[in-house]
Chain A
Amino acid sequence: MRAGGMGRVRQLAIEHQIKVGDFFGADDFVPVTQAHIMADTESLGESGVAWLEALADSGEGARGRVCIPTITDPRGTDFAKALVLKQQRWMVSLEQRAIDALVRLGVSMTDTCINYQTIQAPTRGEHLAFGDTGVVIYSNAVCGARSNFEGGPSALSAGLTGRTPRYGYHLDVQRRATLRIQVDSTPSTLNDWGALGGVIGRLAGNYWSVPVVEGLEGAPGSDALKHFGAAMASFGSTALFHLVGITPEAQRLQDVGGEQLPVAHRVGREDIAALQRAYAVTDEVDVVVFSAPQLSLYELRAIADLCDGRRFIKPMLAVTSPQVKPDADRFGITARIEAAGGQVLSGMCFYQSYAREMAEANGWKRLATNSAKLVNILGGYGYVPMLASMERCIDAASTGRLA
């Protein structure tokens, strides 16, 4: 492959992977069963799309296409709602070019960051090349699978070669706990789960830190752990956590070496509240967004329940995957949200969809959301993001104020 005997496309892919593997001191490669590519065009830009097109136009036939199931993270638009979002023609055109190129490379355009809920949940010990930090941390922690953060070029390379450098979370030694945290309060809402993930992410501090968490009560559901993990990955660049008695590799504290660690931090109700208060800088709201990660069917249903009988005076966007949207349509969930004046968007994620340009075009600055991940990201895009419960966010869409 490295010598070019399997084509120029795979040669480029393996050369990139060797560079990365050498950087991290990987001894060899590990076969992977799936790849997941983050490739929205706000990130790629014109140069990245042109690079994808050149790769797709190699003329190498099957040798120039992916050789394992390879899927995509959200796009930069919902093509059916681009005008509503006031996205510009060039954005949509660039997205279409990227999609065309990825399809020619054999990639399946799933356009989702919740593939573990909608496409195929990874299994314990399965080696993967997944992009989207929320996807990776959920797959590693909740499913017990094995992936590093794979950026778009690296995930695509893995799709083309069927392997990835063996370093980081593919190795047993890297999956041991490095930070022991005692939690004194179990969240009950998704924004609280996200805030707790954010607090722990900040404490963890970097990619190589693996928190083991004690003290959570009950069995949190998939959406709770989705928000928890996505926020932890966002605030801390964390890729793996263990919850004692909950996640598969830590049925007991000693399973991940946690008993050898002192309790480094105690996290309680006040810490969760403090993170959210830090974003509560105004009560005026321009837009309400539910996104990051994309919403499950159950989250959309909960929003629809809150929408009944309301009429929004501020834009309310609920973003989901192309797999969930048809069910939301079928079950009348989309219609109930839209009857209140909300929008259900599909196949995109808010922050990956030219968030800065959308803000300028729509006059959006003060944004309410129940996603801790989203508030952590959007400050850099010029927003004043505020974190609140789903109920308070829906109230804000109705009144224009975050009470």
Chain B
Amino acid sequence: MKPTTTSAGPLTFTARHAIGNAVRGTALVARDGFSARYDLDRLAGTFSRPAHKLAGQSYVGRVLVLDTAKGGVASAWMLREMASRGVVPLAIVFNTVNPILAQGAAFGEVTMLAGFDVDITACIPHLATVEIDPATRSLRVIDLPVDVSDCSKGDARGSAT
């Protein structure tokens, strides 16, 4: 793991929208969309749509860092149903969210952040350990598995705190 600071301080990102409880966990990161109906095998707890960039990976207990909410309205029910069986992401982080995923997060009590001044999927390394605090609408990188490279500089100029 590499240090998680930039010249501007700890690698922290601030979202415009937030809901849920503070959590800490490992991030699965992809510039791809998310729909519980379209993308998941909710029994196995894995991404099942073959074309999805996280296909085959388990989402259970992970912080999903993805580009945008996709697909139909079913996710509003499904997040709670997945939570009831313990087969649910720890949190979901989007560049852009749609009402369904926000409603699903509210109903299923899943932590969610959305809306950043940077492309959050380019800023959080895959498998980094992150901490999310909806009260401050912040996502903080705790441990980095790989070099953050350019985005950390972009973040330092933008919304790093």
Contact = CB atoms under 8 A, between A and B. Distances in A.
Interface of A: 16, 19-20, 23-25, 38-40, 42-48, 51, 73, 131-133, 148-154, 168, 205-208, 233-234, 236-237, 239, 351-352, 356, 376-377, 379-382
A73 B37 CA distance: 15
Contact of A131 (B73, B96, B97, B98): B73
B132 to A, nearest CB: 15
Contact of A207 (B50, B74, B99): B99
B68 A148 contact: no
A38 B81 CA distance: 15
A383 B62 CA distance: 26
A132 B99 contact: no
23 contacts: A16-B106, A25-B17, A40-B74, A43-B77, A43-B81, A45-B78, A46-B81, A47-B85, A48-B80, A48-B81, A73-B73, A132-B73, A149-B99, A150-B99, A153-B76, A153-B80, A154-B76, A206-B98, A207-B97, A237-B33, A237-B70, A377-B71, A380-B37
A206 B96 contact: yes
Contacts of A51: 80
Contact of A43 (B38, B48, B74): B74
A39 B106 contact: no
Interface residues of B, number: 40
Q: Tell me the dominant secondary structure on chain B's binding face.
A: mixed
B74 A380 contact: no
A376 B98 CA distance: 18
A234 B74 CA distance: 12
Interface string B14-44: 0001110000000000000100011111000
B79 to A, nearest CB: 9
A93 B77 CA distance: 19
A46 B70 CA distance: 24
B121 interface: no
Contacts of B38: 376-377, 379-380
